[in-house]
Structure 1
Amino acid sequence: MAPLTSALTHSLQSLFGERYTTSLALREQHGRGEAHHAAALPDAVIFAQTTAEVSQIVRLCAAENVPVIAFGAGTSLEGHLSAVQGGVSIDLSRMSTVTRVSPQDLDCTVEAGVTREQLNTHLRDMGLFFPIDPGANATLGGMAATRASGTNAVRYGTMRENVLGLTVVLPSGQIIKTGGRARKSSAGYDLTRLFVGSEGTLGIITEVTLRLYGLPEIISAALCSFESVEQAVAAAIQVVQLGIPVARMELMDRGLIRAVNAYSGLELKIEDTLAFEFHGSPAGVQEQVEMVSAIVEENGGRNFAWANAPEERSRLWKARHNAFYAVVSQRPNARGWSSDVCVPVSRLGDCILETRALLKDCSVPAAILGHVGDGNYHVVFAVDPSNAAELAEVAAINKKMVRYAISVGGTSTGEHGVGTGKIAYLREEHGDAVDLMMAIKQAVDPAGIMNPGKILP
């Protein structure tokens, strides 16, 4: 990779004026996500406002062999944003227009910088919503790039199922459109799925066309506690195996409940806990609630607490979404190390028990949480990023957790993505298929300027 030349700097400054910056504070902000990974600063940051501008930037950088890294809300957790070879960070947050909504077709098109909360505020009066909820108020372009999912995935799927089409700027600066608004197609390669989850290593997503859903007639939420995590996981597995269409089913271990109580001012019972949400008609929700209540009771669940008022549900899920910050807040000046894996639901109990055993003697605060309805769970650690021994301890725990998940047919990451943090496990998980991934990368981005150092070993 080449450094920024004076000629390239002059061209970019002339085109973008004050939207081109080499401010140290902004470069530091754009050189890291929210987790523990060390920052690697870009040489410059540009705030793009249109797809055409992104194309201009990429063409100029490609001509000089300068790396480009897309930036949305900065909420990633696996080192996706670090400029490991320098270059230009293209901030898409000002591309924040909802360009089209079709209530009849239940779809919309948004610019990449639109956040999920912004979109749902825009849709509310139309009786529609977009359900993918990774917790953070991430941009939809970033969510597509990392193939995000979240608390609603057990019912509504992930970004993989909910992205219909994309506008992408390729490493040459060429602009292409993938997919379309039809709900199915047999025409050619599925390029949309190629770019969803590519983490900016094949191109920069500037527009996203998404599936939408009608707002449920009834939404009901509940918490129940268990004496052991085994009981909670067993209940969750039964709910999935019986096909009960819960909208959310979240596990929070007792360590997380303790942290959340302190951080969010709640008084939840400090036990291993499942949180549920039910969507549908009054009769449908009632049936779901009765079936889940029976399963929970059979598995030792107790203290069912209902949160049916919108403000109560909002407070409950906000507390869950703040889990990362709740764990980190237990130590002054700590950073969060968040790792996730996803396993077949039938092996979820084994894996969580294995992970709990790994955490038994961990010297730093840690908690387990997860979207257990689809076999995805997380561990959040509060680490001192300057303490090498502490980082090595957590890295060893993370390695054992990931390898155990892969050994039972799972994946090294269910939703955070690979970034720089999970590169070491890619070949272990995918074997020789990694060679094909590398061939695709070479074909699309032969100079390697698109977010270099991410995903591929």
Structure 2
Amino acid sequence: MNAPENLAHLTPEIRQRPVPPGLMAALQTRFAAQCSTAQAVREQHGRDESVYDVPPPAAVVFAQSTQDVADAVKLAAAHRVPVIPFGVGSSLEGHLLAVQGGISIDVSRMDQVLSINAEDLTVTVQPGVTRKAVNEAVKSEGLFFPIDPGADASIGGMAATRASGTNAVRYGTMRENVLALEVVTASGEVIRTGTRAKKSSAGYDLTRLMVGSEGTLGVITEVTLKLYPLPEAISAATCSFPTIEAAVRTVIQVIQLGVPIARCELIDANTVRMVNTHSKLGLREEHMLLMEFHGSPASVKEQAETVQEIATDFGGNEFQWATTPEERTRLWTARHNAYFAAIQSKPGCRAISTDTCVPISRLADCLLDSVAEADASGIPYFLVGHVGDGNFHFGYLIDPAIAEERERAEGLNHQLVARALSLEGTCTGEHGVGLHKMDFLLTEAGTGAVDMMRSIKRALDPDNILNPGKIFTL
């Protein structure tokens, strides 16, 4: 499978819209010190974890309430100026970049847990609350929020990108765990979608429409989430394998047998070495599965024994257990820091991250061929995956100043996505489309489906001011 001659979107289309002095004056009058045009602040809000270099927004509004968001959007709408929601800036696909100029609305100060309804297993929060803060707030009730994308992302950003993470194999993604939203529309109107009830057949499912819309249909200002009881028992384990195929075949059999494993992560040997150096661990430097089991003591023991038996059949060895909270936290922190461990392994580099997901039965087919291509390319990379649900990530480490490295890495990414789509998978399991996967979305969904998305966008945002230039172009 050869790389295409013309790799699309190595450079995003930048089409800056003018920001009239009248809008800037109105923002300063309404928001005073909450509105900044300082170069450093603008640059901070014009950069994420992607490789794109885009001019920063013209101004940043630090919203402290839903009314602040609504007023900022109304002012921008009156001048047809783009608005880009901003949480903590951890997105990987260029979601928050001001490719058409405009203003950034930073909701990080909207960081309150508004209500905990322990009896109903729900919590309602503002969008700037991070996932760790949610869990800190609800743990005294014996509850937790399972969606865990690695970075301590904001809940609003997680909803906007339909995030998932290490626990998705058992608890699902943000799609399954958001019950209701408060959203500011393109006109500045505040609407609510959904309720705290666990199900509804009332009209169009606007909550699901907004979850994953990446800020292109509205600015999320409140989120109601499902919670879960903290498991009675939790056990984590690592297991090393002589080959990636052996590790992947183990995962496939575990899932197909219906073992209710909570987390099942693949870390290749190269990444284990990076993690050991970064986190000062002594993990065996072979391909590894990092697993976690939730339930009663008896069920956890049964799950673990079943998985250990399967792993042994595929050559797994060095099963090591982490049963204390401290040991588990250390392991999972190291896993979540794999991205940063990789970046630090090549000073000055940036990572082009992939995000494919395939049906579990096709995981080995997709992953093994992609590993062979990456090895042959000569580009340093890391490989991690939420393989329990068929999702995995390569991070190709490149010097952003060397165009040839960027092109080779993008070629690998293109080949990987093409392979995943040919196996009835997706171009993005959890990161979202943003700027980086726009052409891939068209290939995956087809012209008719993308045109329907465009029709929805035009109906809800006729002046195209809500995070324009993302997902698809108009």
Q: Pick the TM interval, shorter chain.
A: over 0.9
1:451 aligns with 2:467: yes
1:407 aligns with 2:460: no
1:301 aligns with 2:316: yes
Kindly provide the CA deviation profile for residues 392-431 of structure 1, in whole angstroms up to 9, marking residues without a partner as x.
0100000000111011100000000000000011111001
The 2-side partners of 1:273 and 1:223 are apart by 7
- Pick aligned residue for 1:421 from 419, 432, 436: 436
1:141 aligns with 2:142: no
Secondary structure of the residue aligned to 1:104 is helix
Deviates more, 1:176-185 or 1:2-11: 2-11
Scaled by the length of structure 1, the TM-score of the pair is 0.99
Secondary structure of the residue aligned to 2:376 is coil
Question: What residue in structure 2 maps to residue 95 of structure 1?
Answer: 110
1:178 aligns with 2:193: yes
Secondary structure of the residue aligned to 1:137 is coil
Tell me the CA shift for residue 18 of structure 1. 1.2
Kindly provide the CA deviation profile for residues 349-378 of structure 1, in whole angstroms up to 9, marking residues without a partner as x.
001011101101233320211000100000
- Pick aligned residue for 1:165 from 154, 157, 180: 180
Secondary structure of the residue aligned to 1:283 is helix
The 2-side partners of 1:231 and 1:313 are apart by 24
1:219 aligns with 2:219: no
The 1-side partners of 2:56 and 2:380 are apart by 29
The 1-side partners of 2:95 and 2:308 are apart by 41
User: After the TM superposition, which segments of 4 or more aligned residues of structure 1 sit over 3 Å from their partners?
Assistant: none
Tell me the CA shift for residue 380 of structure 1. 1.0
Contact 2:149 2:164 in 1 (8 A): yes
Kindly provide the CA deviation profile for residues 109-152 of structure 1, in whole angstroms up to 9, marking residues without a partner as x.
00000000011011111111100000000000000000000000
Question: What residue in structure 2 maps to residue 345 of structure 1?
Answer: 360
Tell me the CA shift for residue 15 of structure 1. 1.1
Question: What residue in structure 1 maps to residue 303 of structure 2?
Answer: 288
The 2-side partners of 1:177 and 1:338 are apart by 34
The letter of the residue matching 1:283 is: A
Kindly provide the CA deviation profile for residues 85-109 of structure 1, in whole angstroms up to 9, marking residues without a partner as x.
1100000000000000001000010
Tell me the CA shift for residue 232 of structure 1. 0.2
Tell me the CA shift for residue 2 of structure 1. 3.9
1:267 aligns with 2:282: yes
Secondary structure of the residue aligned to 1:329 is helix
Kindly provide the CA deviation profile for residues 183-204 of structure 1, in whole angstroms up to 9, marking residues without a partner as x.
1111100000000000000000
Deviates more, 1:36-45 or 1:433-442: 36-45
1:253 aligns with 2:253: no
Question: What residue in structure 2 maps to residue 119 of structure 1?
Answer: 134
The 2-side partners of 1:296 and 1:164 are apart by 37
Secondary structure of the residue aligned to 2:69 is helix
Question: What residue in structure 1 maps to residue 327 of structure 2?
Answer: 312
Deviates more, 1:3-12 or 1:440-449: 3-12
Tell me the CA shift for residue 39 of structure 1. 3.3
5+ unaligned residues in a row in structure 2: which ranges? Answer: 1-15
Scaled by the length of structure 2, the TM-score of the pair is 0.95
Question: What residue in structure 1 maps to residue 56 of structure 2?
Answer: 41
The 2-side partners of 1:41 and 1:203 are apart by 21
The 2-side partners of 1:260 and 1:39 are apart by 31
Contact 1:36 1:383 in 2 (8 A): no
Tell me the CA shift for residue 215 of structure 1. 0.6
The letter of the residue matching 2:472 is: L
Contact 2:352 2:410 in 1 (8 A): no
Tell me the CA shift for residue 386 of structure 1. 1.2
Tell me the CA shift for residue 338 of structure 1. 1.3
The 1-side partners of 2:380 and 2:43 are apart by 27
Q: 1:376-415 residue pairs with structure 2 within 5 A?
A: 376-415=391-430
1:5 aligns with 2:20: yes
The letter of the residue matching 2:60 is: V
The 1-side partners of 2:50 and 2:312 are apart by 38
Contact 2:247 2:289 in 1 (8 A): yes
Question: What residue in structure 2 maps to residue 324 of structure 1?
Answer: 339
Contact 1:202 1:444 in 2 (8 A): yes
Contact 2:42 2:58 in 1 (8 A): yes
The 2-side partners of 1:58 and 1:32 are apart by 21
Equivalent residue pairs, number: 457
CA RMSD of aligned residues (A): 0.9
Question: What residue in structure 2 maps to residue 25 of structure 1?
Answer: 40
The letter of the residue matching 2:64 is: Q
Tell me the CA shift for residue 382 of structure 1. 1.8
1:436 aligns with 2:452: yes
The 2-side partners of 1:225 and 1:417 are apart by 31
The letter of the residue matching 1:113 is: G
Contact 2:155 2:223 in 1 (8 A): yes
Secondary structure of the residue aligned to 1:263 is helix
The 2-side partners of 1:274 and 1:164 are apart by 32
Contact 1:96 1:113 in 2 (8 A): yes
Secondary structure of the residue aligned to 1:201 is coil
Secondary structure of the residue aligned to 2:99 is coil
Provide the identity percentage. 56
1:155 aligns with 2:192: no
The 2-side partners of 1:64 and 1:100 are apart by 36
1:14 aligns with 2:29: yes
